[in-house]
Amino acid sequence: MNEHETKQLMQSVGANLRKLRKEKQLSLEELSALSGVSKLTLGNIERGDTNPTIGMMWKISRHLSVPLMTLLMPDKSVRISRSGHGPTYESESGQWILEPVFTDLREKMEMLRARLKPNCIYEPEPNHPWTVEIATVMSGTVQLTIGEDTYTLHQFDSIQFSATETHMYANVGDEEAVVQFTVFYS
């Protein structure tokens, strides 16, 4: 992503945050108290003056009770998501990359794609209450641990579960695994 695209994304995130905060009738001070993100930082995000971390955006989305991608995606009626074009979020180790695909506010749904390097583990935070996740392995073999149970999924296998439980995806193969997630928030 070049500098211009990054600035556009920051401005879109800021506009989305401001719109959602006002819809929830929250002041910057109130959202700051709820999320633990400072009022100054929230203001900078809303103005598009800073590039927030994914962890920070997660805290904000959680306390606004909206999917994370609601903050990150522009509001358009027809969208095409092309693999490798658009924002991606990479682990510090570079072992996994998360790519937003779509978010639909009306349906309270978001779709993401994850690329997991061989022998890598992706362990997302437990989701908002009453969240359902559907995962489909597009390539590779993945072991999904939900709570204390482990399931092995091969190419085109799908699973549905409550994403409020602790869960972890492990690529147990020798090649990159790709997993498509659809998350429904109720």
For 121-157, the three-class secondary structure string (H helix, E strand, C coil) is: EECCCCCCCCCEEEEEEEECCEEEEECCEEEEECCCC
Higher pLDDT, 1 or 127: 127
Distance, in Å, from the CA atom of 163 to the CA atom of 22, rounded to the nearest integer, reads 28
> Poorest-confidence range of 31-45, 70-84, 108-122, 142-156?
70-84
The pair of three-digit structure tokens given for residue 161, joined into one six-digit string? 């579960």
Q: How confident is the model at residue 99 (pLDDT cuts 50, 70, 90)?
A: confident
pLDDT in tens, 129-180: 888 999 999 999 999 999 999 999 999 999 999 988 899 999 999 999 999 9
- Cα–Cα distance, 92 to 177 (Å, whole number): 18
- Top pLDDT among 92 and 104 is at 92
What dotted CATH number matches 3-72?
1.10.260.40
List of residues 6+ apart from 12 with CB closer than 8 A: 48, 72, 73, 74
Report the C-alpha gap between 91 and 13 in whole angstroms: 20
User: Which of these CATH numbers, 2.30.38.10, 2.60.120.10, 2.40.50.140, 2.170.190.11, describes 89-184?
Assistant: 2.60.120.10
Residue 182 has pLDDT above 80, yes or no: yes
Quickly state the pLDDT bin for 110 (edges 50, 70, 90): confident
14-69 residue pLDDT tens: 988 998 899 889 999 999 999 999 999 999 999 989 888 888 888 898 888 887 77
Asked whether this chain's domains 3-72 and 89-184 adopt the same fold, the reply is no
Cα(133)–Cα(183) distance, integer angstroms: 4
Most confident of 31-40, 56-65, 91-100, 104-113: 31-40
CA distance 88 to 48: 18
| pLDDT surpassing 70 at residue 125 | yes
What's the pLDDT band for 113 if we cut at 50, 70, 90?
Answer: very high
Residue-level length of the chain:
186
| C-alpha span between 178 and 77 (Å, rounded) | 27
Closest CA to 136 of 117, 119, 121, 114: 114
Question: What's the confidence (pLDDT) of residue 18?
Answer: 92
CB atoms within 10 A of CB 104: 15
Distance of alpha carbon 38 from alpha carbon 53, whole angstroms = 14
Domain ranges of the chain: 3-72, 89-184
Return the pLDDT at 102.
Answer: 73
